[in-house]
Structure 1
Amino acid sequence: MNLLKKFSPFYNLALFYIIVSFLLRIVLVFHPITQTSFSFIDSLKIFTMGFISDAFVFVIATGFLWLYLIFISDSKYYKPYGNIIFGLLVALFLYVASGKSILNEYGGALPKIGMIFIGIKTFLFGLLLFLPKYRSKIRLCLFTFVIFLYVVLILQNGISEYFFWNEFGVKYNFIAVNYLVYTNEVIGNIMESYPVIPLFSGLFAVAGIVTYFITKRTKNYIENILTFKEKIKTSGIYLSLFALSLFAIPLLAKKENSQNVFANELQSNGIYRFYLAFMNSELDYFKFYKTSPEKEAFALLEKQIPNISGETTLRQIKSDASETHKNVVLITIESYSADFMKMYGNDMNITPFLDDLAQKSLLFTNLYAVGNRTVRGLEAVTLCFPPTAGESVVKRKDNKNKFSTGSVFKDKGYDVKFLYGGDAFFDNMEDFFGGNGYNIVDKKSFTPEEITFANIWGVCDEDMANKAIKVMNAEAKTGKPFFNHWMTVSNHRPFTYPNNKIDIPGDIKSREGGVKYTDYALKKFFDMASKQPWFKNTVFVILADHCASSAGKTELPVDKYRIPAMIYSPGFIEPQKYTKVMSQIDVMPTLFGLLNFNYQSKFYGQDVLKSDYKPRALIATYQDLGLIKDNVLTIISPKQTVKQFQLNLKPDQKVAQDFQIYYDQVPLKNERTDLVNETVSYYQTASDILKKKNYQSLNSKTPIKVAESDK
């Protein structure tokens, strides 16, 4: 077989991909949203550089095709190897089907997906093994199916890029990544917005025709299987091109430097843009959201955060009383909705300890999480910063040396640690906390004797509680105050925990069990802590990272953001209820106020116990950014869109007024422009500050404006 025929599946698919990409660029150039004209140089770059970029991206994308083709052979079906391989596949299938495989630790649909994949692989291998007379026909059918999948994906990507351009006037960005996160909502929107059945019927019909011609031109590859030496040679060529593509694609992306933004977008490859959006996790606020002139935005922000300095949030916080350097233990509880607790109406008695502790604490009854992911909660209590568009700062590249809760404590002489029962590498926590001066205690720090139970997320909360006590006892002996931030893990799918601890067995994997076990583990922690000499000199802050669920009938269903929070320190903080609206980003600045800390602050979060605090809450998804104020929810979204809802408490909520969390969100008939401008001021300035790296740790030379009201 000559060299050209050896690569026939690749170059035929490549030709189809290049044609689709070329036609797509022509369509987008003349699309009504492309409101610009192109110079000859721009036009030349769009199509020549775009073509080269597409070619290299195609090489990377066909990695799976290369793996499939090099493993096509007859030798693996010869005795005894064929029977051995088949036996191993059957054993693997039975292992996954048993329900006791490692996949089950992840929960969700993963075990079923794994079982289906292995089952299909086993079935097909069996057909090829036991039906040698039909092996060539079966193999041709499989080959045709693989080609069909590639053709469908190429067409689907072209259609998706068109519709994305139709919506936003750009190639893929973080919104496209976000669509993968909110699959149900996105699919529902697509079903309602576009003629899906005719569209996909046409897509599959075209894909079938294209597949027929490509298969006809490339089936020689299946009919004349490459020898081992030929596979080595072709693999060498392919892998060389693969390596070249890895180098060339980012280099070509740097050439997207025209003054014409549309030219840069059209020159780019959509698939690579999607990859960049996924890795960088950012969404350009100034490109997609409603904005105000910069000075106006900061001037309006100063009305919400008094005495900030210029176009930053820098200000001096000064107390009239002497500072109190008590130990601080911050506990963020995984997926802990307000409505799990008795005071918010839950009658299942799944939080008996925290229900009791709340009555002995400063309880924030009207507090909202900023987001619906753990990294958002960690960002909120660590940076006290609004949830900007895209991914949390925790998962961004520029996530180090920020002004943080930890940096304030460090300036006061505290030991600062982050405690996590899992591997802190997950969700980039290790990189974030380590890069902001925290020492990290995670599963890697445990000895085998310290672990009594673990699942895929880490050690159970009891084991982490025992470890935390050991860590704090050691810290207390140094004579320095400590700040420890503990993130729990047990209230998370698959909701497994040790049996015989609570009245809900750990192996039935129920959400209620996960909640109740975490409550039980926290009781054990406080029982142990209360016996330690450092307990009376410690303040405990307990709150959720986010709610257990975020789905609702609106973009931002407010009841799905309501979380419990309390500050407990017997003999220091009197039990009371704070009932005004507040945000997760306000908890730690409020604690600093209780400790009478004098410090330079960049926090957007505020001490809610101060007289100049104006009640509001910030809530968001990856792209919908909201402000709750004056019983109105204002949402700003990409394409400069704005929505506002009047929040009317639903009647017949059988709990006290301060603990009612369910609202009817009624669209406002008349826009509250003042609230729209305030919402823009929060999110625009936050995006600007991050972009300009103005939220870094302070140094002694930083100029600072003293707040007269705080003197």
Structure 2
Amino acid sequence: MSFKLFPSRFALLKAFIVLFLLLSFLVRLSFLVWNFSEVDKSFFILANTFFIGFLFDLATVSFFAIPFLMYLLVIPKKFHGSIFDKIAVYFGFSLSVFILYFSFFGEITFWDEFQRRYNFIAVDYLVYTYEVVKNINESYPLPILISAMLALVLSSIFIVNKLGFFKKTFSSETLFKTKLIASMPWLIIVLLSVFLFTNKQADFSENRYNNELAKSGIYSFFAAFRNNELPYNEFYKIIPEKEAFQTVKTSLKDAKTTFENPNENSIFRTIINSDSVQNPIKPNVIFICIESLSGNFLKVFGNEDNITPTLDSLANNSLFFDNLYATGTRTVRGMEAITLSIPPTPGRSIVKRKQNQGLFTIGEVFKQQGYKRNFFYGGDGYFDNMNTFFGGNGFNIIDRGRGFLLDKSITTTRTNIEDNEVTFENAWGVCDMDIYNKVLKEADKAYANETPFFDFVMTTSNHKPYTYPEGVIDIPSGTGRNGAVKYTDYAIGEFIKKAKQKPWYKNTVFVIMSDHCASSAGRWELDVNNYHIPALIFNSPNIQTEKVNTLASQIDVFPTLFSVLNWDYTSNFFGKNILTMQPEDERAFIGNYRKLGYLKDNKVLVLDEQKNSHFYLWNPLDNSQKLIPTDKDFEHRSISFYQVADGLYRNGKLKIKE
């Protein structure tokens, strides 16, 4: 008996596998054309991209094949072509083809947003179907896409039927033994995929785009589902713990700092900023965290579209940090960096994790100074676990809730943004002007009660679908990123105008900073330019207008503010006062959920979860990176910060001391 990979009973399976491989190839080819200027186009690299891609596609389709193979094996020959068989096969094939088209359509929208295959972000989005589906509906012509998808499914079924694959499957006389032998290769591929293949093996090139093209979206999705927790000590390069802590503590030590337990593996310390001349001041503080505001949107950084006149004006009339970098590529990563003043930890942001309450945050410093702390969000703070994180760390919640409850162990005030306070709303929440109007109302109440307040305000308008109220700016709503940026800037300007009319304005400091850039994509492991963000401190009574060129991180902004306010406080933060940083102390932390970067002196060291480190010379003029021999001292310093940060979190040492 001769071996056949696809005996007649497997005819429909053959059709599905060919369809999957063909569509996957076309998607990969489309992404190549889409980002052709960014891809390494050398023959060997490009050939490897498609060859590795084919192997991952084969692995992916083998998982699809197994359920159908099981069915084909267990149904005896005498039932081939029966009514039951036809119903089951037609239904199973139709559903599989629909899932196939749906996943590929989803990949295209995901690539449009992130220039990546599915990753942990896609996994997280499964939890927040309301926001995600609404966003897709507002960003794309969903009825047309669904109609097109259904048309493609029906067309595929028609063609497969026309080519006789259904007829062969139903009229087959294939014996069980033949079917069993034909099933073995697919079972072997599945076992190899589970035990030997990993998604990391697609990262064969220095060019990130080629690596992403080599992957299979569905395979990447399930790989991310399995690997969203990455304990640093298990996956990354490590050094002796004592050495790591000593390196970090040395970098944090200065004349104003006293470590509470200098001989322990801890960074908890007291910082003294006041003296007989510099007395503490306690103005209200409003922090505006701007969604996806890349530095290159501002005129001050070379943009010529004039879409940020308010921020450009503020840059010239504030303490403006023009060499500052975000730690990550998502809002929750920015929140983690800002509130905890910590380098990025691998895997999920701490905001999304279970052990994220009762931590020592910037809110705790404000609490020590007698402030009321509020978190404002224009959408439902259930999204991305924001309410649990902020509520569990002492903030009152003001959001556009739809009824989702906080963790029952959290006792905090939650205030809803009511319908009569909303003039415009999209998938992500109310427009920025509406959230600022709510901030003004709550500030008026706090002022009337003579309570100093710290407001953490998270905006949403600078996000796809880029919609906002019509007629307020000269770019029509929903037409693209430039319009969203210009509206975001306009809303900040209107907010400050209104705030200036308030009695509390003269005693209020405004801090404005982006959560992350609009795009994290790039050809490098970590594209440095795509972490550059603006940040400023405005209206503080005891600082001069200044543009600060010190290389610094998102985690340094609030420690700098506390210094400006002359506050004495205890700290568990990794951030430092930017204004007193010495050249040897300048650095920035950048990363995504897998790769962790340490930037200093135009060099960046990247750590990955395969215990590798890659050292690059970065050219800021053209954003190019050149691989150079690793500097062991540089590597040691990089490892120290990330190892200590993740270790403190996992050992519960970021908690507030009782």
So what's the TM-score if we normalise by structure 2?
A: 0.69
Report the Cα distance in structure 2 between the residues aligned to 1:563 and 1:166, rounded to whole angstroms: 31
Deviation at 1:524, TM superposition (A): 1.1
Question: What is the root-mean-square deviation in Å for CA atoms of aligned residues?
Answer: 3.9
**Could you say which residue in structure 2 is the equivalent of 1:164?**
197
Question: Residues 370 and 166 of structure 1: is their aligned pair in 2 closer, same or farther, counting only changes over 3 Å?
Answer: closer
**Correspondence list, 1:243-258, <5 A:** none
Question: Residues 517 and 139 of structure 1: is their aligned pair in 2 closer, same or farther, counting only changes over 3 Å?
Answer: farther
Report the Cα distance in structure 1 between the residues aligned to 2:640 and 2:134, rounded to whole angstroms: 47
Give a deviation string over 1:114-166, Cα, whole Å, max 9, x none.
34444457779999xxx9xx9x969969xxxxxxxx99997765443344369
Q: Which amino acid aligns with 1:694?
A: K
Q: Which amino acid aligns with 2:341?
A: C
**Could you say which residue in structure 2 is the equivalent of 1:209?**
none
SS in 2 for 1:366: strand
**Could you say which residue in structure 1 is the equivalent of 2:291?**
334
Q: Which amino acid aligns with 2:213?
A: G
**Could you say which residue in structure 2 is the equivalent of 1:520?**
490
1:291 equivalent in alignment to 2:250: no
**Correspondence list, 1:344-363, <5 A:** 344-363=301-320
Report the Cα distance in structure 2 between the residues aligned to 1:151 and 1:372, rounded to whole angstroms: 43
Structure 2 unaligned runs (5+)?
1-8, 14-65, 72-82, 89-132, 172-182, 402-415
Question: Residues 364 and 103 of structure 1: is their aligned pair in 2 closer, same or farther, counting only changes over 3 Å?
Answer: closer
* Contact 2:209–2:523 (Cα < 8 Å) also in 1: no
**2:650 aligns with one of 667, 691, 696:** 691
Deviation at 1:515, TM superposition (A): 0.3
SS in 2 for 1:679: helix
**Could you say which residue in structure 1 is the equivalent of 2:364?**
407
Report the Cα distance in structure 2 between the residues aligned to 1:329 and 1:185, rounded to whole angstroms: 43
1:457 equivalent in alignment to 2:428: yes
SS in 2 for 1:586: helix
**Correspondence list, 1:574-585, <5 A:** 574-585=544-555
1:621 equivalent in alignment to 2:621: no
Report the Cα distance in structure 1 between the residues aligned to 2:134 and 2:497, rounded to whole angstroms: 34
* Contact 2:424–2:468 (Cα < 8 Å) also in 1: yes
Question: Residues 400 and 276 of structure 1: is their aligned pair in 2 closer, same or farther, counting only changes over 3 Å?
Answer: farther
Q: Which amino acid aligns with 1:293?
A: P
SS in 1 for 2:578: coil
1:603 equivalent in alignment to 2:563: no
**Alignment coverage as a number of residue pairs:** 500
SS in 2 for 1:609: helix
Q: Which amino acid aligns with 1:188?
A: L
Deviation at 1:313, TM superposition (A): 1.3
Report the Cα distance in structure 1 between the residues aligned to 2:606 and 2:155, rounded to whole angstroms: 51
* Contact 1:624–1:637 (Cα < 8 Å) also in 2: yes
Report the Cα distance in structure 2 between the residues aligned to 1:369 and 1:153, rounded to whole angstroms: 45
**1:372 aligns with one of 329, 333, 343:** 329
* Contact 1:580–1:615 (Cα < 8 Å) also in 2: yes
1:493 equivalent in alignment to 2:518: no
Question: Residues 645 and 424 of structure 1: is their aligned pair in 2 closer, same or farther, counting only changes over 3 Å?
Answer: same
1:114 equivalent in alignment to 2:74: no
User: Rg bigger for which structure?
Assistant: 1
Report the Cα distance in structure 1 between the residues aligned to 2:523 and 2:193, rounded to whole angstroms: 25
Give a deviation string over 1:284-329, Cα, whole Å, max 9, x none.
2112211101111111112211154421111101122322111001
Q: Which amino acid aligns with 2:194?
A: E
**Correspondence list, 1:126-525, <5 A:** 157-164=190-197, 186-189=211-214, 275=225, 277=227, 281-306=228-253, 307-308=258-259, 309=262, 310-319=264-273, 320=275, 321-444=278-401, 445-508=416-479, 510-525=480-495
Q: Which amino acid aligns with 1:683?
A: Y
Question: Residues 543 and 103 of structure 1: is their aligned pair in 2 closer, same or farther, counting only changes over 3 Å?
Answer: closer
Report the Cα distance in structure 2 between the residues aligned to 1:686 and 1:622, rounded to whole angstroms: 14
Q: Which amino acid aligns with 2:647?
A: D
Report the Cα distance in structure 1 between the residues aligned to 2:84 and 2:485, rounded to whole angstroms: 49
Report the Cα distance in structure 1 between the residues aligned to 2:482 and 2:222, rounded to whole angstroms: 42
Deviation at 1:276, TM superposition (A): 5.1
* Contact 1:689–1:695 (Cα < 8 Å) also in 2: yes
Q: Which amino acid aligns with 1:689?
A: L
**Could you say which residue in structure 2 is the equivalent of 1:677?**
636
Give a deviation string over 1:325-381, Cα, whole Å, max 9, x none.
110011111110101000100000000111111111000010000011111111111
Deviation at 1:434, TM superposition (A): 1.2
Report the Cα distance in structure 2 between the residues aligned to 1:374 and 1:482, rounded to whole angstroms: 23
Deviation at 1:70, TM superposition (A): 11
Question: Residues 273 and 545 of structure 1: is their aligned pair in 2 closer, same or farther, counting only changes over 3 Å?
Answer: closer
Question: Residues 664 and 312 of structure 1: is their aligned pair in 2 closer, same or farther, counting only changes over 3 Å?
Answer: same
* Contact 1:368–1:562 (Cα < 8 Å) also in 2: yes
Structure 1 unaligned runs (5+)?
1-8, 14-57, 64-68, 75-100, 142-149, 169-175, 192-269, 651-661, 700-711
* Contact 1:648–1:665 (Cα < 8 Å) also in 2: yes
Deviation at 1:698, TM superposition (A): 2.5
SS in 2 for 1:464: helix
**Could you say which residue in structure 1 is the equivalent of 2:410?**
none
SS in 2 for 1:564: strand
Question: Residues 121 and 476 of structure 1: is their aligned pair in 2 closer, same or farther, counting only changes over 3 Å?
Answer: farther
Give a deviation string over 1:459-517, Cα, whole Å, max 9, x none.
11111111111111112111110000001100000101111111100042x10001000
**1:663 aligns with one of 606, 620, 623:** 623
* Contact 1:103–1:110 (Cα < 8 Å) also in 2: no
**Could you say which residue in structure 2 is the equivalent of 1:91?**
none
Deviation at 1:666, TM superposition (A): 2.1
* Contact 2:542–2:564 (Cα < 8 Å) also in 1: no
Deviation at 1:635, TM superposition (A): 1.1
1:646 equivalent in alignment to 2:605: no
* Contact 2:135–2:465 (Cα < 8 Å) also in 1: no
Report the Cα distance in structure 1 between the residues aligned to 2:200 and 2:330, rounded to whole angstroms: 26
Give a deviation string over 1:14-51, Cα, whole Å, max 9, x none.
xxxxxxxxxxxxxxxxxxxxxxxxxxxxxxxxxxxxxx
Q: Which amino acid aligns with 1:695?
A: L
Report the Cα distance in structure 1 between the residues aligned to 2:340 and 2:385, rounded to whole angstroms: 15
Give a deviation string over 1:504-552, Cα, whole Å, max 9, x none.
00042x1000100000111111111110111110110001111111111
Report the Cα distance in structure 2 between the residues aligned to 1:593 and 1:286, rounded to whole angstroms: 33
Report the Cα distance in structure 1 between the residues aligned to 2:312 and 2:400, rounded to whole angstroms: 29
Deviation at 1:185, TM superposition (A): 5.4
Question: Residues 297 and 531 of structure 1: is their aligned pair in 2 closer, same or farther, counting only changes over 3 Å?
Answer: same
Question: Residues 440 and 183 of structure 1: is their aligned pair in 2 closer, same or farther, counting only changes over 3 Å?
Answer: farther
SS in 2 for 1:563: strand
Q: Which amino acid aligns with 2:376?
A: L
* Contact 1:400–1:435 (Cα < 8 Å) also in 2: yes
Q: Which amino acid aligns with 1:428?
A: N
* Contact 2:86–2:170 (Cα < 8 Å) also in 1: no
Deviation at 1:643, TM superposition (A): 1.1
Question: Residues 117 and 416 of structure 1: is their aligned pair in 2 closer, same or farther, counting only changes over 3 Å?
Answer: same
* Contact 1:103–1:111 (Cα < 8 Å) also in 2: no
* Contact 1:104–1:111 (Cα < 8 Å) also in 2: no
* Contact 2:602–2:620 (Cα < 8 Å) also in 1: no
1:587 equivalent in alignment to 2:587: no
Deviation at 1:596, TM superposition (A): 1.2
Question: Residues 152 and 627 of structure 1: is their aligned pair in 2 closer, same or farther, counting only changes over 3 Å?
Answer: farther
So what's the TM-score if we normalise by structure 1?
A: 0.64
Deviation at 1:273, TM superposition (A): 8.7
Deviation at 1:570, TM superposition (A): 5.4
**1:569 aligns with one of 523, 539, 556:** 539
**Could you say which residue in structure 2 is the equivalent of 1:233?**
none
Report the Cα distance in structure 1 between the residues aligned to 2:85 and 2:516, rounded to whole angstroms: 46
Report the Cα distance in structure 1 between the residues aligned to 2:553 and 2:389, rounded to whole angstroms: 22
